[in-house]
Amino acid sequence: MAPSSAFASDNAAPAHPRALEAIASANDGYAPSYGNDPITERAADVLRGVFAAPDADVLFAFTGTAANVIALAAAVRPWHEILCSDVAHSLLDEAGGPVRLSGAQLTRLPSDDGIISPAELDARVVRRGEVHHSQPRIVTVTQSTENGRVWPAAELSEFIDHAHSLDLLVHVDGSRIANAIAALGVSPAEAIGDADIVTVGGTKNGMLFGDALLVRRPDQFEGIQFVQKQIGHLASKHRYVSAQFSAMLSDGVWLQSAAHANAMAARLSTGLTELGFSLATATEANEVFVKLDAEALTAVRSQFAIHQPDALAPVYRFVCSWATSEQDVDAVLDLLRGR
């Protein structure tokens, strides 16, 4: 039997019943296409309400990679520079999409598991106005980070303010923003500071598909709707993506799901530590990065597919989702206990 994908990623989970119901409900009669339907209008309002951003534009895309690519490509011209952390999804896991679409250099900054210090910005925002050098224009940060860390709300807010003081725009890749919000116990608006544009993740939160873009400074992302169209994310039957957002975000289901995923990660993390394993990064959201020896790895992989982010380091990743059960977690721990 193939090993379970339960911990391979949060996108290995099935869709949350609420998301599927929303799609079924939306499947009723004719509707204007390309987002000009009432379901999409309402979903945009829900997003604006949740993030306390009444003047924001809202766009929907099918995937988080797409949302990131659209945001970054709309922000820059090809002589600009995009800054990101050294573990950014946009740098390492989007096959170069942001660079291809934007034509702009993507520069990695040193980080603490994805959390970048303002001083790193100072060190890189140089040679402004010099025609020989790409001009820094936007920095993208991830909340929660690719290494399972959560930016404290105040720290992210200060970072963003500092970026603004350097005349940089800020994109927050929130493919797991719900996990960050749930972990921080703050409002959605507080979890993203004064970011100019935010990828609001739906897929990893439990939707079948769909990540939204909250464009808080639309004048800085002129033409963004054309980018969305050009790369095939202006869904003709838009209601099936937008309906899920209304359903999951309007009464807190998305945060409950995220909190559950976080709790399962905490349970796993604690269990692993008790068994003597060392964490590679602190478990702050729904991901656990742990060092496993060969024997432990063999034991886990006998039943679970897990990801090794860096082929040169014996660190393995477990991702929990809305669907992860205590039994799933305990099954991993039992395998390790039983070695």
Distances in whole angstroms, Cα of residue 324 to Cα of each of 150, 205, 258, 264, 286: 20, 12, 11, 7, 10
Binding status of residue 230 toward its own copies by CB under 8 A: yes
Encoded tokens for 108: 């990695």
Answer for which of 22, 39, 44, 61 binds its own copies (CB under 8 A) is 61
Distances in whole angstroms, Cα of residue 67 to Cα of each of 13, 64, 234: 21, 5, 11
Structural contact between residues 264 and 286, judged by C-beta atoms closer than 8 angstroms: yes
Contacts of 24 (CB under 8 A, 6+ apart): none
Q: For the chain, how big is the Rg over CA atoms in Å?
A: 20
Among residues 160 and 179, whose Cβ is nearest to its own copies? 179
Among residues 193 and 211, whose Cβ is nearest to its own copies? 211
Beta bridge partners of 170: 139
- Min separation Cβ 229 and its own copies, Å: 4
Answer for which of 77, 278, 293, 295 binds its own copies (CB under 8 A) is 77
Answer for which of 96, 110, 185, 252 binds its own copies (CB under 8 A) is 96
Q: Which of 38, 89, 50, 45 has the alpha carbon at shortest distance from 68? A: 89
Binding status of residue 81 toward its own copies by CB under 8 A: yes
Binding status of residue 27 toward its own copies by CB under 8 A: yes
Structural contact between residues 196 and 148, judged by C-beta atoms closer than 8 angstroms: no
Binding mask 191-220 for its own copies (x = CB under 8 A): ------------xx---xx-----------
Other beta carbons within 10 angstroms of residue 154's beta carbon come to 11
Q: Return the residue matching tokens 């291809």.
A: 100
Binding status of residue 305 toward its own copies by CB under 8 A: yes
Binding status of residue 29 toward its own copies by CB under 8 A: yes
Q: Which of 244, 248, 239, 251 has the alpha carbon at shortest distance from 40? A: 239
Binding status of residue 43 toward its own copies by CB under 8 A: no
Helix axis angle, 239-249 relative to 17-26, nearest 10°? 130
Structural contact between residues 169 and 138, judged by C-beta atoms closer than 8 angstroms: yes
Amino acid of residue 225 = Q
Binding status of residue 166 toward its own copies by CB under 8 A: no
Answer for which of 184, 323, 329, 332 binds its own copies (CB under 8 A) is 323
DSSP code, position 178: H
DSSP code, position 105: E
Binding mask 103-122 for its own copies (x = CB under 8 A): xxxx----------------
Answer for which of 9, 117, 157, 220 binds its own copies (CB under 8 A) is 9
CA–CA separation, 1 and 248 (whole Å):
34
Answer for which of 13, 50, 84, 115 binds its own copies (CB under 8 A) is 13
Answer for which of 166, 186, 189, 231 binds its own copies (CB under 8 A) is 231
Among residues 278 and 325, whose Cβ is nearest to its own copies? 325
Query: Total number of residues binding its own copies (CB under 8 A)?
Result: 82
Among residues 105 and 256, whose Cβ is nearest to its own copies? 105
DSSP code, position 16: P
Q: Single out the segment in contact with its own copies by CB under 8 A; choices: 129-137, 181-189, 192-200, 253-261.
A: 129-137
Binding status of residue 123 toward its own copies by CB under 8 A: yes
- Min separation Cβ 189 and its own copies, Å: 26
- Restricting to residues 262-301, name those near its own copies by CB under 8 A: none
Encoded tokens for 227: 């980018």
- Restricting to residues 234-263, name those near its own copies by CB under 8 A: 234-237, 240-241
